[in-house]
Amino acid sequence: MKLALSDEILMSVDKPSRYIGHELNMVVKDPMKVDIRYAMCFPDVYEIGMSYLGIQILYDMFNRREDTWCERVYSPWPDLDKVMRERKIPLFSLESQTPIREFDFLGITIQYEMCYTNILQVIDLSGIPLFSKDRTKEDPIVIGGGPCTYNPEPIADFFDIFYIGEGEESYGSLLELYKEYKYSDMERSEFLRRASGIQGIYVPSLYEVEYKEDGTVSSITPKAEGVPEKIKKVIVRDFSEAPYPMKPVVPYLRATQDRVVLEVMRGCIRGCRFCQAGMIYRPTRQKPVELVQSYVDQMLSATGYDEVSISSLSTSDYEDLPKLMDFLVERIEKDHIQVSLPSLRVDAFSLSVMEKVQDIHKVSLTFAPEAGSQRLRDVINKGLTEEVILNGVTQAFAGGWNKVKLYFMMGLPTETLEDVEGIPELCEKISEAYFDTVPKENRIGSLQITASASYFVPKPFTPFQWAPMLDRESYVAHAYHAKEHFRKMRNMKRMKFAYHDQDISLIEGIYARGDRRLSALVLEVYRNGGIFDAWTEFFSMQRYLDAIEKLKIDTAFYLTRERSVDEVLPWDHIDCGVSKQFLQKEWELARQGIVTPNCRERCSGCGAAGLSEGPCPAMK
């Protein structure tokens, strides 16, 4: 197979192994023996994209089909991007080095709003018209999936289709329809119209959006008969039968997630009001522990990895975690593998689990109180009290930990300076717990408490979708106030505090709750050189400010105003399974500071049970 890039180019760019393919477990097929060629794209650099489990699942699922060959493509790093534009080299797949424009589908997973300009980079470098309306039957179908498709409106003009929900479910029907389209005289418009009848398939060009004089959405209506008024997400109902990659592709470079990943559960029972994932991935479904155990040997032997990571939104809530941990601890002792356990809550069981899988040089204990005060944790429905936090860290200190990382958000709805002061004050209480718990003669190393705060961005399909986002000046003021308050703490020398860049979060906030009119912003920033906006070294706030001024965009309209619950939201024609009535109720409870029990304690009637066509799996 001839590489798309010459040796001269490969030797001139950073990390050339990003572009050559040939990795372990890469799937190669005869292009003449398949009907459909699908280019699966993660619009970021190779190392980030190769860490995403969703693409590995779909790559495996597509390639199990005899009629389909799925290949991968990632965003070229800026050094190669420049060379490809100068030399007019089209973007290509890793497996066969084929130009993307020759594929039937370009599927783009959209995990984060700040990848929007990279989406245009991929489409543009592929030689595909940027706008869906300009494409013909000779062009690939550009389809988007992932969490940002729950409000895809700011990028709707660039996509033919959005897939709403879990990819394992409706792709079979879509691919069969595509084969009929490909081998007939069916027009592209007819294919898209018929595709819109498949559950979970959203064709934005088939919907008319009208606006009121005040700029809010007036209506979102289908343009043609038979096009559904609401696009209902699809989910995997039998999670045990869902395809899972036993031979995941192993990257040449060290990827962000460079280990075997075991997905044990989808969804979350907790109901944190700020968390979009906790809402859109409902209902909670678990895999039987015996099935997960059977994955381990197969995946370790197929990849050569010596580390296993448990994947879920809240690993502590996986009901078979004790059995799974007994199994993995046995493997640790027998085969010397390592186990990574993200998303654990700070409780006695989690600490005992961590003690089993971490060696004597204990790594940092990491947890996310999200808010400094109990009042604000109740507002966001974190379900975590100060007593639980202090009990957890006290047990951890007694068990030998002396490093703690804490994650917070600032700018949460109803937040006051008093809530902000709660961040350093909680850190101080944790430090006092350490000195009260660990005798001086037993202290190995020194206590380290690292607190970091991110800028809260309200997201669609959460109770906070109506909330105003804190303006930039207030966020900076809150961050400085926290920093100053840290200096007043008795044990301040044991603490570090950092807060995230405010500018990137502001643009994320504009896109997150934006409408179709923002496609002009994405395009303008891209045309002025904006790519890799999620990377601070490439992000330019000035580039965005210039585009916002040129396009006369009112940023306050998207960011700092509170929405009325009666307002038509840009994503109201999408049904994520959780009802708007439930979200409204949670928004009201948040403002009253009332906590909602988790799904296993009591069903709150969110509506997601209807997706399962039976009892809610979270209640089983």
The pLDDT tens digits of the residues spanning 475-490 come to 999 999 999 999 999 9
Three-state SS for 155?
helix
pLDDT over 60 (residue 359) = no
Per-residue model confidence (pLDDT) at position 487: 97
Banded model confidence at residue 338, pLDDT cuts 50, 70, 90? confident
pLDDT over 50 (residue 345) = yes
Other CB atoms within 10 Å distance of the CB of residue 166: 23
Amino acid at 469: M
pLDDT over 80 (residue 356) = no
Banded model confidence at residue 469, pLDDT cuts 50, 70, 90? very high
pLDDT 10s digits, 187-222: 999 999 999 999 999 999 999 999 999 999 999 999
d(CA 576, CA 574): 6
Per-residue model confidence (pLDDT) at position 451: 97
pLDDT 10s digits, 312-325: 999 889 999 989 98
- In total, the chain counts a number of residues equal to 620
Cα 524 to Cα 249, 503, 595, distances in angstroms? 36, 18, 43
Region 28-55 average pLDDT: 97
pLDDT 10s digits, 84-119: 999 999 999 999 999 999 999 999 999 999 999 999
* Cα atoms in the Cβ-side hemisphere of radius 13 Å centred on 555: 19
Three-state SS for 96?
coil
Per-residue model confidence (pLDDT) at position 256: 74
Banded model confidence at residue 363, pLDDT cuts 50, 70, 90? low
Task: Provide the Cα torsion 538, 541, 546, 551; round to 10°.
Answer: 100
Banded model confidence at residue 396, pLDDT cuts 50, 70, 90? confident
Per-residue model confidence (pLDDT) at position 619: 67
97, 124 in Cβ contact below 8 A?
no
Residues with Cβ within 8 Å of residue 31, at least 6 apart in sequence: 37, 69, 96, 98
Region 422-434 average pLDDT: 97
Measured distance between the N- and C-terminal CA atoms of the chain, rounded to whole angstroms: 52
508, 154 in Cβ contact below 8 A?
no
3-state class percentages of the chain: helix first, strand second, coil last, to nearest 5? 40, 15, 45
Per-residue model confidence (pLDDT) at position 258: 83
What does the DSSP assignment read for 563-598? Answer: PPTTSBPTTTTEE-SS-HHHHHHHHHHHHHTPPPPP
Mean pLDDT for the chain overall: 94
CA nearest to 34, candidates 182, 160, 162, 139: 182
Other CB atoms within 10 Å distance of the CB of residue 224: 12
pLDDT over 80 (residue 62) = yes
CA nearest to 69, candidates 93, 53, 89, 43: 93
Residues of the chain above pLDDT 70, percent: 98
**Do the bridges between strand 201-202 and strand 161-163 make them parallel or antiparallel, or are there none, so unpaired?**
antiparallel
d(CA 419, CA 482): 10
d(CA 190, CA 603): 43
Sign, CA torsion 365/366/372/378 = negative
Region 275-290 average pLDDT: 96
Give the distance from CA 135 to its chain's centroid.
29
Per-residue model confidence (pLDDT) at position 620: 61
Three-state SS for 109?
strand
CA nearest to 300, candidates 331, 270, 255, 274: 331
The model scores a pTM over 0.85: yes
**CA angle at residue 478 from 476 to 483, to 5 degrees?**
95
Supply φ then ψ for residue 447, to 5 degrees: -70, 135
Q: In what order do the strands lie in the sheet with 495-499?
A: 365-370, 403-410, 448-455, 495-499
Per-residue model confidence (pLDDT) at position 361: 47
d(CA 299, CA 291): 13
Three-state SS for 52?
coil
105, 139 in Cβ contact below 8 A?
no
What is the SS3 string spanning 436-505? HHCCHHHCCCCCEEEEEEEECCCCCCCHHHHCCCCCHHHHHHHHHHHHHHHCCCCCHHHEEEEECCHHHH
Name the DSSP class of 150. Answer: G
Residues with Cβ within 8 Å of residue 588, at least 6 apart in sequence: none
607, 580 in Cβ contact below 8 A?
no
pLDDT over 50 (residue 360) = no
Other CB atoms within 10 Å distance of the CB of residue 535: 15
d(CA 436, CA 427): 14
Supply φ then ψ for residue 498, to 5 degrees: -140, 150
Give the distance from CA 492 to its chain's centroid.
34
81, 41 in Cβ contact below 8 A?
no
Banded model confidence at residue 348, pLDDT cuts 50, 70, 90? low
**Do the bridges between strand 285-286 and strand 307-311 make them parallel or antiparallel, or are there none, so unpaired?**
unpaired
- Cis bond upstream, residue 283 (ω within 30): yes
Q: Where are the beta strands (DSSP E) in 256-337?
A: 260-263, 265-266, 285-286, 307-311
533, 482 in Cβ contact below 8 A?
no
